[in-house]
Amino acid sequence: MCGIIGIVSDKQVESYLIDGLKRLEYRGYDSAGIATVNDHQIHRRRSAGKLGNLQALLQHEPIQGQIGIGHTRWATHGAANTENAHPHSSREVAVVHNGIIENFFDLKKQLQKKGHKFESDTDTEVIVHLITDYLHQGDQPLKAVQKTLTDLHGAFALAILFKDDPNTLIATRQGSPLVLGIKENELFVSSDAVAFAPWTQQVCYLEEGDLVVLSKEPKFNYVLYDRTGHKVERPLRRSQITGESVSKAEYSHYMLKEIFEQPTVLSDTLQSLLNFENQMITLKDVNIDWNTLDRIQIIACGTSYYAGLVAKYWFEKWAGIAVDVEIASEFRYRNPVLSPNSLSILISQSGETIDTLAALSLLKENEHQVLALVNVPESSIARKADHVLQTLAGPEIGVASTKAFTSQLMVLACLSLKIGRERGVIKPDTYDSLVQALVSLPGMISHVLQNSEDYQKLALSFTTARNCLYLGRGITYPIALEGALKLKEISYIHAEGYAAGELKHGPIALIDLTMPVVVLAPYDEWFEKTLSNLQEVIARGAQLLCLTDQKAAEKIKQQVKSVCQIEIVVLPFVDSFIEPILYTIPVQLLAYYIALLKGTDIDQPRNLAKSVTVE
């Protein structure tokens, strides 16, 4: 969950480290710190809270050095205070860490018996003392780190400085991502290539168990070792992430920028999958005989799980195949029965989600076929899966997912049509009609975004609410779940999404004059039943917001006699196939503007991090 960066340069690195951490802060923002080596001394500055606190400290207490490491923290072991902030250090070593050391408690007891004094409550500090202990035994830095790695159980990415080797930085990964950036007279290592995107696009993704030694002298170079300690070479790639792609541009928040990027990224994603000349959906490097499958299971967490719930409707209706949708963190705890004729689809924006990775490991142990849907093609999940589909959302910096979610839906929609066509479930004319619906979607979303000011006005009535219900029926039910998640993530209003048919089975007891209810009610095959749910909500005096289209809006106005405040937002009428993607946009905008009025930290909501890399 944390973000780490290391830099070896011919320039002073303090400002570099801070700039890199700004781009990594989406991974955690409970505390931050940097360390450098200069004049054979380790210099360190740390601060609790957001990165701005560290910047303020450095204004008064700057540090020098052309080699350094930095960290922005999502707290696991120990409170979010300065003592627990990274880097952790001894006189000889400084370390930054992303991940978790599962056996830290036993290691700490052993080290304390040997006289080591601990200054924090973190699991990370044992790494510092282990390396220091091996150095005191006479090992050189590389050997000390390699020995330490054999002692550690868990998931980690590390960057390490040494007082007595001031031209060297060592970094390694096991279960947590790490990428190397290469530039003339500068080397970078980080949890995400986004950290050094403005400085270089030449990157090398470390594989599981890799260790890299970055050296400033005699000439800037790096040496890679695999988990067995043998020197290896890994392919160099050109990153598509640029400095411009990770800026906020003219927008006040990354989240708003990413909401408005959706017409473009959905169009890009569709173009990567659809041959517009013959209207055929093609999946590069995905060689699956869809006719042999009798079941698909989709495994994911959070927002990606909701994308899977939408896909269940699509796959079962248009591909004629049974689908189970699994929460990744629960999947491996029950000895799942895996059919030899089934396929598992794992969805993860980062491709590093730890619970999804664990599910993938279980599937591979059972020689089960896996298709990964990720936004980062070099990620751990992508490298381990049998087949990979990529969304083209680009970097998503706002912690609450927006464009990554709708891009996942676009890929899954295309996949459902591809499978349905190959299995002979979809008639050719229906297939063509649904493809055209997807082609029209970016324009429809642009139309909704042109009226974003409407949601600023609607948001006013939500700012005093403490609870909120979202209702959807059929294929919009998962979007009700996603809308509720967005609201609670960034506004801190407690919100729950429900299938509209479940209203009478409990949640209707919550409805009173102070309870806003958001209903997704397009004019589709489920509309008449949703209309009955609207009547039930109105009869209880709820504050109602109805997201619908023109035809449904007219029906609502004709049949509903309101005894409460009711707002109707009219969206373009679309085929029910693409309703879930279109109706995602208003629930994103609504959550954004409510949070804006409440004054919360929209891009970095409390207690959250973008990439969940610890269990």
Question: Is the same domain home to 467 and 408?
Answer: no
Question: Is the same domain home to 507 and 584?
Answer: yes
Question: Is the same domain home to 528 and 420?
Answer: no
Give me the pLDDT at residue 615, please.
61
Give me the pLDDT at residue 513, please.
82
Q: What is the C-alpha R_g of the chain? A: 26
Average pLDDT, the chain: 92
- Classify 294 as helix, strand or coil: coil
* pLDDT tens per residue across span 553-591: 888 888 776 555 688 999 999 999 999 999 999 999 999
pLDDT of 20 higher than 70: yes
Q: What's the domain range around 56? A: 3-246
Is the separation of the CB atoms in 347 and 408 below 8 Å?
Answer: yes
- Position 336 confidence tier, pLDDT thresholds 50, 70, 90: confident
* pLDDT tens per residue across span 167-214: 999 999 988 889 999 998 999 999 988 899 899 989 999 988 999 999
Residue 123 lies in a domain: yes
User: Please, which residues have CB within 8 angstroms of residue 168's CB and are 6 or more apart in sequence?
Assistant: 67, 141, 162, 213, 214, 215, 216
Give me the pLDDT at residue 276, please.
84
pLDDT of 295 higher than 80: yes
Is the separation of the CB atoms in 551 and 573 below 8 Å?
Answer: yes
Question: Is the same domain home to 386 and 278?
Answer: yes
Tokens 């609502």 found at: 556
Torsion 306-311-317-320 (CA) sign: negative
Torsion 65-71-72-77 (CA) sign: negative
Give me the pLDDT at residue 485, please.
97
Write down which residue in 418, 448, 478 finishes a domain: 448
Give me the pLDDT at residue 610, please.
67
Packed helices 584-598 and 477-491: angle between N→C axes, nearest 10 degrees: 20
Give me the pLDDT at residue 376, please.
87
Question: Is the same domain home to 438 and 460?
Answer: no
Give me the pLDDT at residue 285, please.
79
Question: Is the same domain home to 174 and 70?
Answer: yes
- The model's pTM is 0.86
Q: How is residue 217 annotated by DSSP?
A: S
Residue 613 lies in a domain: no
Q: How far apart are CA 412 and CA 308, in angstroms?
A: 8
User: Please, which residues have CB within 8 angstroms of residue 391's CB and are 6 or more apart in sequence?
Assistant: 265, 269, 349, 373, 374, 375, 404, 407, 408, 410, 411
Find, among 211, 153, 212, 205, the residue nearest to 178 by Cα: 205
- Position 1 confidence tier, pLDDT thresholds 50, 70, 90: low
Question: Is the same domain home to 89 and 17?
Answer: yes
* pLDDT tens per residue across span 367-417: 999 999 999 888 889 989 999 999 999 989 999 999 999 999 999 999 999
Q: How is residue 292 annotated by DSSP?
A: G
Residue 611 lies in a domain: no
Find, among 581, 587, 593, the residue nearest to 569 by Cα: 587
Give me the pLDDT at residue 335, please.
83
pLDDT, average across residues 317-344: 92
Instruction: Give the catalytic positions in this structure.
Output: 2, 610
User: Please, which residues have CB within 8 angstroms of residue 227's CB and are 6 or more apart in sequence?
Assistant: 174, 208, 209, 210
Identify the CATH number of the domain in which residue 299 sits: 3.40.50.10490
Top pLDDT among 78 and 107 is at 107
Give me the pLDDT at residue 559, please.
76
Q: How far apart are CA 554 and CA 550, in angstroms?
A: 6
pLDDT, average across residues 67-82: 89
Identify the weakest region by mean pLDDT among 354-368, 394-408, 530-544: 530-544
Please count the structural domains in the chain: 3
Q: How far apart are CA 149 and CA 151, in angstroms?
A: 5
φ and ψ of 517, to 5 deg: -125, 125
